[in-house]
Structure 1
Amino acid sequence: IYIDVADLNADAVFDNIDIGVAAKDASKGPGMKGGGEQANPFGFAQQADKATLSDVKQTAWATTAGTFKLSGLKMSVSTGVKECY
């Protein structure tokens, strides 16, 4: 899973985790989509062979995953700033 996130709250289990990797050097997972996007040169990442997240609440610009299961998903559109959880 790749998450460009400002805030994330979840119960999480990571297998074989690397914490504090320079964002541009992250090598596991799907990474950023093409089209000229570049990692923040001052950004950092964590990466793992496997991540299991439950009870997720996030404020994110992007989420990309090979498999992404959303049980009980509810979505709505509204005006103004309203977080997605």
Structure 2
Amino acid sequence: MKEAQGGQEYGRTNWRRFMIWTAVPGAAVAALVVGMANGAFAASFSVSGQSFKISADELDGEGFSQYGGTVKKVDGTEIPVAISGIADGKLTNLCQSVKIPGAPVSLTIRAGREDGKPAKATNLLIGVSELSGDATFTDINIGQDASTLKAGGPDAHGQTGMFGQEAEHVTIAGLRQTAVSTTAGSFTLNGLNLKVNVAADGKPAECF
């Protein structure tokens, strides 16, 4: 890599700073991958509040539910989100990216790029602030009480009296979403590739 060799944009001093910026986040992402693969995360935890991007050529899910809710930061601040639950999902050409605050650096995780080997997740819960794509739902209920939702997995339901929707099956082509939290009972990342991206122009690689 040019930066590692001490080009004009990144001398040895800046490279050391870069290592400080990325050492902890890199270890955290690696732990996240291992933890999710072993079902180590509960449905509720304190979020950082920093958003990250997720994209996939296609999401194919059995059992889908969605409802409004909040996630909490360590200081107790609540962040409103749309919570999407998928009981059993497959993601083709999955990408997840997050930018490191205050640095021209991002972390990307890619998986499920090989034909016939998508990334797979069970009991997936995503706290979403924005989502787009071409979606097709099968046997969908819209306006269902969020406390009665069952299709998206055992934890994919909200509070009594809150708006919710669920479907037996969902397909989303060209998935693009910005999220603040993700949990899963299991997450199989076939063809996993984790990469630290450094950009001299201050715009490191992201999923979109």
Q: TM-score range by the shorter chain?
A: 0.5 to 0.7
CA distance in 1, matches of 2:197, 2:169: 32
1:30 is aligned to: 153
The alpha-carbon deviation at position 25 of structure 1 amounts to 1.4
1:14 is aligned to: 137
Decide whether the 8 Å contact of 2:147 with 2:161 is kept in 1.
no
TM-score, normalising length from structure 1? 0.56
Is 2:168 aligned against 1:49?
yes
Decide whether the 8 Å contact of 1:59 with 1:84 is kept in 2.
no
- Alignment identity in percent? 28
Secondary structure of the structure 2 residue equivalent to 1:27: coil
The alpha-carbon deviation at position 52 of structure 1 amounts to 0.6
From the two aligned structures, give the one with the greater strand fraction: 2
- Higher Cα Rg: structure 1 or 2? 2
The alpha-carbon deviation at position 26 of structure 1 amounts to 0.6
Decide whether the 8 Å contact of 1:30 with 1:64 is kept in 2.
no
CA distance in 1, matches of 2:145, 2:197: 35
Residues matched between the structures, number: 75
CA distance in 1, matches of 2:195, 2:146: 30
2:81 is aligned to: none
Q: 2:182 aligns with which of 36, 57, 62?
A: 62
From the two aligned structures, give the one with the greater helix fraction: 2
CA RMSD, Structure 1 to Structure 2 (Å): 4.0
The structure with higher relative contact order (CA 8 Å, sep 6+) is 1
TM-score, normalising length from structure 2? 0.27
Q: Structure 2: which 5+ runs fail to align?
A: 1-63, 65-84, 86-125, 199-205
The alpha-carbon deviation at position 42 of structure 1 amounts to 5.9
CA distance in 2, matches of 1:45, 1:68: 28
Decide whether the 8 Å contact of 2:131 with 2:177 is kept in 1.
yes
